[in-house]
Amino acid sequence: MVSKESASVKKTEEKLKPKLFSVMKGYNKSQLIKDIVSGIIVAIIALPLSIALALASGVKPEQGLYTAITAGFIVSFFGGSRVQIAGPTAAFATIVAGIVATEGMDGLVISTILAGIFLVVMGICHFGSLIKYIPNTITLGFTFGIAVTIVVGQVKDFCGMTFEGTPIETTEKVAEIINSASTFNPMAFFVGIISLAILILWPKKLNKIPSSLIAVIVGAAIVKISGMNVNTIGDLYTISSAPPTFAIPEVSFERVKALIPNAFTIAILAAVESLLSCVVADGMIGSKHRSNMELTAQGFGNIASALFGGIPATGAIARTAANIKNGGRTPIAGMVHAVVILIILIVLMPYAAMIPMPTIAAILFIVAYNMCGWREIVNCIKISPKSDIAVLLITLVLTVVFDLVVAIGVGIVLAALLFMKRMADVTESHDWIYVDDEDTDPDHISLKKVPDNTRVYEINGPMFFAASDKFNYILDNTKGIDVLILRMRNVPAIDASGVEMLDKITKRCKKHNIEVVFSHVNEQPMHAMEKAGFVQRVGKENFCDHIDSALRRAEKLENVVKKNKGNK
């Protein structure tokens, strides 16, 4: 039975109502001030990150800010979390860069809109709770793989190299780095090292001011004052301070069909990362997010981001944590963060041209390090079976060598196959012939009287196609009995193959004049059996709710068999 309290909590989690509408009931001036202050601080943190992630994604620097503005505001307004901050994240950098390189900006816009639609559908269909079924090994694998691709992609700018070609794949970039080693720029490397040192050491002393902002200011000052030959954003890109404007891409059925795999990957990645961020935030503030509303809001945010010149967005764990630490407790903080970034874009964006590319690379190195989760991977390798480690490593390698679509697809298939194997391994049937004096089960065979010509088998675990061969044991041990009892109290689920195996057992028994009785069949298996017509074939009277009633039924059937034999 489900308690009224837990049912109420579950209903609250599932309802599609933005958190903003719930938290505003007791909103006051004190919390408004905290939310505004937190929103401003988070905007300062998000500014250099959004620019850096845009460049890592192969798009213009202002497009990262467009994403933080549109998706940041909409996700906060419609979201299912009190404190979630949305915007561009490192998880998307590699896949976005690949889409832009192969499909162009229109391809990215269409993919992001489709991903947004997928997310909205996932939220409306209450898929929020299903995301947790993606194994942690796959998440760790592709996250670390993404971190590796980000690092490899930034070596060029960190070292001031000049590439002859335009490599897309990570392996191609590694080869180009080796071939371009002679173009190494010591001055760029020096600026990159200084920036990296600030990013590592600054938070240990003065964590109130974002280290990335200090690195950007110091790096720009060094290059400007010294006149070093180091590329800046302005040297490579034309920066616009215009606010985001609405634009619809040219769409065709063939184009949409070709981009669905990329869109699906973006949607899954956005769903996983945003809900993971929500879970982390819940633990920090003692709240409970609405996962389905959050998915719906992420969908709205991605659609808006694409239509206003941005890139894919999701919940950003680091920015969300910064929001919480600075006093943000309602979606107002996230909305303020988006508005502040818009103001900075219009007023201060021209100054972004002075930011050195090695500094951007250093920021992305730190982002990659923070997201890679190497500690979790080490721990996973220590405690996990070899099969799980294999899934993790295969997902990691495929992410680096190929792309995220291949990595997630192969990873999920491998994890599913391993899961089915494990379920098959724990599924068993055993004969009730042993006695254990220490057994505390009140329904143990040692406490029951089994009729002389009756045999009881207990089945443990789900009965599905991967475990079908486990039940051949029953088929081979039905000689010399009149009644076979199949006890199914520990069978939580059954599929068509499981029903087919039971049908095979009953037909074999019928052929040898053996009656089959079922004990304690759970709800899902019973429903499956009824739907297949199996219950009707066996007879409803041969389905008992407890082993005691099953044994009584067996005794009655034995008496009938004996009587029939006597008449003969």
Give the pLDDT of the chain (568 residues) as one tens digit per residue: 344 444 444 454 567 899 999 998 889 999 999 999 999 989 988 999 999 999 999 999 999 999 999 999 999 999 999 999 999 998 898 889 989 999 999 999 999 999 999 999 999 999 887 766 777 788 888 888 888 988 998 899 999 999 887 787 888 889 999 999 999 999 999 999 999 999 999 888 777 788 888 999 999 999 999 999 999 998 888 888 999 999 999 899 999 999 999 999 899 889 988 998 898 888 788 888 999 999 999 999 999 999 999 999 999 988 998 899 889 999 999 999 999 999 999 998 888 889 999 999 999 898 888 888 888 888 888 777 788 888 899 999 998 888 777 887 888 888 878 777 766 665 656 555 444 444 455 555 556 788 888 888 888 888 876 666 666 667 666 777 889 999 998 888 888 778 888 888 898 888 888 999 999 999 988 988 998 889 999 999 999 999 999 999 999 998 887 777 666 5
Angle, helix 291-307 to helix 253-285, in steps of 10 degrees: 130
- pLDDT score recorded for residue 470: 66
Cα–chain center distance at 458:
37
Report the 10 Å Cβ neighbour count for 122: 23
CB atoms inside a 10 Å sphere around CB 20:
20
Instruction: Give me 466's structure tokens.
Output: 């991967």
Gap between the Cα atoms of 99 and 113, Å rounded? 14
Report helix, strand or coil for 64. helix
Among residues 68, 56, 153, the alpha carbon closest in space to that of 97 is found at: 56
Q: How far is CA 518 from the centre of its chain?
A: 40
Q: How many CA atoms lie within 13 A of 106 on its CB side?
A: 8
Question: CA-to-CA distance for 452 and 167, rounded, in angstroms?
Answer: 77
Residue 5: per-residue pLDDT: 44
For residue 350, which amino acid is it? P
pLDDT given at position 422: 67
pLDDT of residue 2: 42
Strands laid side by side in the 428-431 sheet:
428-431, 454-460, 483-490, 515-519, 543-544
Report the candidate in 432, 429, 428 with the shortest Cα–Cα distance to residue 445.
Answer: 432
What single letter denotes the amino acid at residue 555? Answer: E
Name the CATH topology of 429-567: Transcription Regulator spoIIAA (3.30.750)
Token match 């992609």: residue?
A: 153
The SS3 of residue 561 is helix
Q: Which two tokens stand for residue 502?
A: 């039971």
pLDDT of residue 447: 60
d(C-alpha 71, C-alpha 302), whole Å: 6
Rounded CA-CA distance 278/129 in Å is 13
Domain ranges of the chain: 28-373, 429-567
In 326-466, which residue ranges form alpha helices assigned H by DSSP?
331-348, 357-372, 374-383, 386-401, 404-426
Classify residue 126 by its DSSP letter: T
**465 Cβ partners below 8 Å, 6+ apart?**
495, 496, 497, 498
* Model pLDDT for residues 64-102, shown as the tens digit of each residue: 999 999 999 999 999 999 999 999 998 898 889 989 999
Q: How many residues does the chain have?
A: 568
Q: Which amino acid is at 533?
A: G
- The alpha carbon torsion through 215, 93, 352, 45 (nearest 10 deg) reads -50
Which H helix or E strand runs over 486?
strand 483-490
Measure CA 143 to chain center. Answer: 10
Per residue in 3-44, pLDDT (tens digit) is 444 444 445 456 789 999 999 888 999 999 999 999 998 998
Q: Which helix (H) or strand (E) holds 504?
A: helix 496-511
pLDDT of residue 212: 87
CA distances to 222, 270, 521 from 89, rounded to whole Å, are 28, 10, 49
Specify the DSSP class assigned to residue 308. T
Torsion of CA 459, 461, 467, 470, to 10 degrees: -30
